[in-house]
Amino acid sequence: MGDRKLLAVIRREYLERVRSKWFLISTLFGPVLFGALMFGPGLLMNRDRSGNGAEAILVLDATGQDLGTRVATALSGGIGGASASSPRVLAVTSGPALAEAESLATRAVVGDTVKGYLVLDAGTLASGKARYAGSNTTALFAMQRLDRAVQRELLAWKVEQSGVDPEVGRQLAATNVTIEAERLSKRGRGGSGQVNFFAGLIVALLLYMVTFVYGLNVLRGVLEEKQTRVAEVVVASIPAQRLLLGKVLGIGGVGLTQVVIWIGTSVALWQARAPMLARLGVDAAPFALPDVTATSLALLLAFFLLGFLLYASLFAAVGAMVNSEQEAQQAQMPVVLLLVSTILLAQGIVMEPESTFARIVSMLPHAAPIVMPLRMTVTTVPTSELAGALVSVALGALASIWLAGRIYRVGLLMYGKRPTLREVVTWIGRR
């Protein structure tokens, strides 16, 4: 009979939220956001390439070695040959002539005649320092092209000055070295290291966001029932501890449903990303998704559920202690800070996932639900550490549920003044 009532509470909490328009909106927002992140950068970079970025500039060449013409040729021929907006080269001498040329170029930029101007002088030949001023300095792709063009042409010029054949010099200057880091594990090759790095951060942020949002949802649900006196009726038919567990499991199921939908649609979008970008004439960066096994998915699910039980129980206890939204905002801060502290450590841990600090933090009950899945994504974690982290989180969740249950059964029916810390300790000690 008790199990039937518990299932009824879980079902009510789950269906009440899944059927709401806000669940539908937030669930659809996830794929839209992921789609924008997947397709947006490629489309924008393609537009930046085809637009008048690094080509629509003025080159002031005061080197006396025709370096400006070489740079302009490299920029205008960078995309399928000469461009209608090829850089214009103005050969000037240093000193007053260069200063006057810069003044005229500045006016041209202000008048939107050109995007900017590049200054090449004797310092460029000696130390490789060039100056650029313009309205498109935040266009990173254009600035990278400009930097590479100057660097390569200057290197080619220096090689030629040493007596090497000019064509050989250009080939040497155009040489690029790219190191592709690939992760190796006991299961074999695990894909790109950079992909695993970003995937780890995404996993940590996703778990943090879902735990935080739906943990607060538990708090508000408890507070709403307390304010409307619905709790008095419900507690009369089901024990407070079972009501707490049903509420946490029901709302946790909503969060899990949303995560599954987000992951499924994201994978589908990723599979369709390259063909769709190809139809639009954009080359997609070729890299594969991280290798994820069924065991890894099961562990991620276990850490999420246990972590959600831990934090949602604490949020429910806070909701039972307060009487208004204003009080809840203050009382929830210790729990919020406990959760936020885990995501603040994410960047350092993903950089050094096998450090002693990362291992210790991933064993702490409050941090393991976020940190351990992060470590699992970027490195191979020993089985003993995984088992230890699971036991730690499970014990933490049980302690949290027990503690919250003690507070919940008394605080749910208490109204008026917010209880003091001593009174809360008394509630916990009651039998």
Return the closest-CA partner of residue 61 out of 52, 51, 53, 72.
72
Instruction: Please state, in angstroms and rounded to a whole number, the distance separating the CA atoms of residues 330 and 340.
Output: 15
HEC string of the chain equals CHHHHHHHHHHHHHHHHHCCHHHHHHHHHHHHHHHHHHHHHHHHHHHHHHCCCCCCEEEEECCCCCHHHHHHHHHHCECCECCCCCCEEEECCCCHHHHHHHHHHHHHHHCCCCCEEEEECHHHHHHCCCEEEECCCCCHHHHHHHHHHHHHHHHHHHHHHCCCCHHHHHHHHCCCCCCCCEEEECCEEEEEHHHHHHHHHHHHHHHHHHHHHHHHHHHHHHHHHHHCCHHHHHHCCCCHHHHHHHHHHHHHHHHHHHHHHHHHHHHHHHHHHHHHHHHCCCCCCCCCCCCCCHHHHHHHHHHHHHHHHHHHHHHHHHHHHCCCHHHHHHHCHHHHHHHHHHHHCHHHHHHCCCCHHHHHHCCCCCCHHHHHHHHHHHCCCCHHHHHHHHHHHHHHHHHHHHHHHHHHHHHCCCCCCCCCHHHHHHHHHCC
Predicted TM-score (pTM) of this structure: 0.66
How many CB atoms sit inside 10 A of residue 23's CB? 15
Enter the tokens of residue 287.
């890299």
More confident position, 426 or 387:
387
What per-residue confidence (pLDDT) applies to 82?
Answer: 39
What per-residue confidence (pLDDT) applies to 258?
Answer: 85
395-413, pLDDT tens digit by residue? 999 998 888 888 877 777 6
323-379, pLDDT tens digit by residue? 777 888 888 888 889 888 888 887 778 778 888 888 898 899 988 888 888 888 777
Percent above pLDDT 70 for the chain: 74
Is 244's pLDDT higher than 60?
A: yes
Following DSSP, what letter does each residue of 15-63 receive, concatenated? HHHHTSHHHHHHHHHHHHHHHHHHHHHHHHHHHHHHSSSSSSEEEEE-S
> What integer best gives the mean pLDDT of the chain?
76
More confident position, 41 or 123:
123
Is 58's pLDDT higher than 90?
A: no
Percent above pLDDT 90 for the chain: 3
More confident position, 348 or 213:
213
SS3 category, 132: strand
Which phi and psi angles does 136 have, rounded to 5°?
A: -115, 30
Helix boundaries (H) for 162-228: 166-173, 193-227
85-125, pLDDT tens digit by residue? 566 777 676 778 888 888 888 888 888 888 888 888 888 88
Instruction: Please state, in angstroms and rounded to a whole number, the distance separating the CA atoms of residues 40 and 53.
Output: 18
Is 72's pLDDT higher than 80?
A: yes
More confident position, 75 or 211:
211
AA identity, residue 98: L
More confident position, 307 or 186:
307
Q: Mean pLDDT across the stretch 27-48?
A: 67
pLDDT classification of 84: cutoffs 50, 70, 90: very low
SS3 category, 130: coil
Which phi and psi angles does 361 have, rounded to 5°?
A: -65, -40
How many CB atoms sit inside 10 A of residue 134's CB? 23
More confident position, 54 or 80:
54
Cβ(218)–Cβ(312) under 8 Å? yes
Report how far Cα 105 is from the mean position of its chain's Cα atoms. 40
247-262, pLDDT tens digit by residue? 888 888 888 888 888 8
Instruction: Please state, in angstroms and rounded to a whole number, the distance separating the CA atoms of residues 295 and 387.
Output: 13
What per-residue confidence (pLDDT) applies to 382?
Answer: 87
AA identity, residue 289: L
Enter the tokens of residue 412.
């749910």
pLDDT classification of 51: cutoffs 50, 70, 90: very low
Write down the architecture of domain 53-173 according to CATH: 3-Layer(aba) Sandwich (3.40)
Is 391's pLDDT higher than 90?
A: yes
**What does the domain layout of the chain look like in residue ranges?**
2-43+191-429, 53-173
AA identity, residue 290: P
Cβ(322)–Cβ(378) under 8 Å? no
145-201, pLDDT tens digit by residue? 888 888 888 888 887 777 777 676 666 666 665 555 555 555 444 444 555 566 667
